Structure 1
Amino acid sequence: MSAPAPYTAESLPFGDLVPVTVHFDDLDALGMLHNSRFPLLVERAWGDYWHGHGFGFTGDWATAGDMANVIKEMRVSYEAPITRPGTYAAHLWVEKLGRTSLTYGFRVCSADGGTTYAQGHRILVRVDAQTLRPTPWTDEARAIARKLARPEALPDAS
C-alpha cells in the first residue's frame, strides 16, 4: 500500500494549511519543540491567515474591529514530538461560527499536512474594544470564516 499523497492548500478536504517555522531555540533541553510553542505556532498561523485576508491590528484598539477578540478556551493534544527546526504547517478550520464566538480546530503538522504533531481547538469571542463585552462579528469576517468551515460543522449559529 502506498503512502497517501501530501496535501496542498488546494487538496485539503477543508480548512487551510498555513506555513509555520520552528526555530532551533524553540526546542527544549530534550531537543523537542517545547509544549508552549505549539499554541504559539497556531496563534501566529491564525494571525497570518487573517492578515492575508485584510485584517490586522495597527495599534489602535478603537479601530481593531474583528481583531479585538479574546480566548475563552484552548485545548491541545500532543501526538508526536517535533525534533528539528524547519518549516511545518498549521491546518486551521472553523468548527462553529456563532454570533459573537468562533470555535476553530487546528493541527500542527508537517508542511504537507501528512503528519500530525498536535491538534486541538480554540474558542474566540469578539469583544467591543471600549466595553470589553461580546459583540457580533462583521459580515466580512463571517464570510471569511465560512471559507474555513469543516463540511460537517454548522458554520453559522446565529
Structure 2
Amino acid sequence: MTAEAPAAPALSYGRLLPVTVHFDDLDALGLLHNARYPVMVERAWTALWNDQGFLAYEGDWEAAGDFCNAVKELRISYEAPINRPGEYAVHLWLERLGNTAVTYGFRFCSADGALTYAHGTRVLVRLDAATLRPTPWSDRFRAVGRELLRSRD
C-alpha cells in the first residue's frame, strides 16, 4: 500500500515531537497497527511534559500531582497508512484547558509535519489521589497549558 497522505497546513501552533516506528509496530499487512498510534502519542505527550519540568509518575499518586489523571475520551481518525518503519512525528496541542479536564489535540505525521497519517483528540480529567474525584489542575500546569492552546483565530 502506498497511499499518499494528505498535506497538512504549516505548523503554527503546538509542538512537533519525533517518534520512531519500528518493524515490530507493524501488523501482518505491514501497516502501523492501529493500537500503536495512541501509545506513540502518549509517549510524545509524556516527553513534552517532561521537557517542561513535569516528572513522570514514579509510583506515588499523591506526589504525581497533575499526572494523577484518567482518560475520559479518545478519538482518532486514520487518514493514510504508515507502511514502513522510520522516523515520524507527533504534532501536539491543547484544544481546551478547563478547570479539571483538558482536551489534547494530536496529529501523527511525517517527521517534518507536512503529511498527516492520523489525527484526534483525547480528554483527560485530573483526579484527587485520595478520592479519585476530579480536582483542578495546578497553576503551573495551567501556565504551560496556555502556551499549548490552539488559537481560535
Question: What TM-score do the two structures reach when normalised by structure 1?
Answer: 0.88
Q: How does 1:89-104 map to 2 (within 5 A)?
A: 89-104=89-104
- Counterpart mapping for 1:68-83 below 5 A: 68-83=68-83
Task: Tell me which residue corresponds to 1:26.
Answer: 25
1:114 match: 114
Give a deviation string over 1:109-144, Cα, whole Å, max 9, x none. Answer: 001000000001000000011111000000100011
Partner of 2:50: 51
The separation in 2 between residues aligned to 1:21 and 1:128, in whole angstroms, is 34
For 1:12 and 1:80, the matched residues in 2 are separated by 19
Q: Deviation string for 1:57-109 (max 9, x for gaps)?
A: 12211100001110000000000011111111110111110000000110000
Residue in 2 that maps onto 1:128: 128
- What does residue range 57-68 of structure 1 map to in structure 2 within 5 Å? 57-68=57-68
After TM superposition, give the deviation of residue 12 of structure 1 in Å: 2.4
How many residues end up aligned between the 2 structures?
145
- Cα RMSD of the aligned pairs, angstroms, is 1.5
Question: Percent identical across equivalent pairs?
Answer: 62
In the alignment, the residues of structure 2 paired with residue 52 and residue 77 of structure 1 have an alpha-carbon distance, to the nearest angstrom, of 27
Gaps of 5+ in 1: 1-5, 154-158
Task: Write the letter of the residue equivalent to 1:58.
Answer: E
Residue 13, structure 1, aligned to residue 9, structure 2: no
Structure 2 counterpart of 1:64, one-letter code: A
Q: How far apart are the structure 2 equivalents of 1:36 and 1:62?
A: 30
Using the alignment, how far apart are the partners of 1:12 and 1:95 within structure 2?
15
2: CA distance, partners of 1:136 / 1:125:
9
Partner Cα separation in structure 1 for residue 69 and residue 90 of structure 2: 20
